[in-house]
Amino acid sequence: MVLFIEVGCLRGKDNELVIKELAFVKVVSLLNAGKLSTNNVIRSFIFQYPYWHCNLSESVKRTNRWCTENLHNLRWSDGVVPYSYLHRILIDFIHKHSEGVVYTKGSEKVSVLQNILLSNQKTSFRRSGEEITIDIRDLDNYSCPKLDSEYFQELKRQRSNDNLLNTLCGFDHQGKDCALNKAVKYNYWFRNNEITCSC
């Protein structure tokens, strides 16, 4: 089964992406009335900052303020999970809930996730005696539309009562982007557009 990962980020002291929200979605099947089966994975984590805010340049602070106000409402000071756990959580979820193929949207996110795996020398894993290479794929390469596209606007109108499509992480994004909700929607698009996965 296919695992989707989405992130909500701010910029770090070297202008790199710092993951503040990390979301995982794997929808295997739905039961009656749109309820999820127990084989599904829908989970997100909000991470603490990796270092003090005062280490950021004024330019990065301005960029982060804009991202907070316009994208996801995540501030540098938000988070409950220590940042040092991010690598372990990412690797564990990929190992436990994927067949090696992971999807996210955007080349910069693909690069960040690949770098985390490379820095931990975890680009593959063994399952049932088989070596499985982790392949992080960009949904943009499959023509996945942006969330503000007509496709997702129409989906929102047609399925306004769909509990799965309205899933949020629990953090108060104040109506802005939630990484978990984005991953759910990308998963929905993927499943309903018969994207062939060579996994």
For 105-153, how does the pLDDT look when each residue is reduced to its tens digit (9 = 90+)?
A: 999 999 999 999 888 777 888 888 888 889 999 999 999 999 889 988 8
pLDDT single digits (tens) 160-195: 766 666 677 777 777 778 898 899 889 889 988 866
Q: What is the pTM of this model?
A: 0.86
Confidence of residue 199 (pLDDT cuts 50, 70, 90): very low
**Residue 94 reports pLDDT greater than 80:** yes
Phi-psi map region of 192: left, alpha, beta (phi>0 left; psi -120 to 50 alpha)? alpha
| Domain range annotation of the chain | 3-99+141-192
Residue 37's alpha-carbon distances to 1, 31, 32, in angstroms, are 14, 6, 9
Encode pLDDT of 11-59 as tens digits: 999 999 999 999 999 876 554 445 555 678 889 999 999 999 999 999 9
Contacts 24+ apart (CB under 8 A), 37-40: none
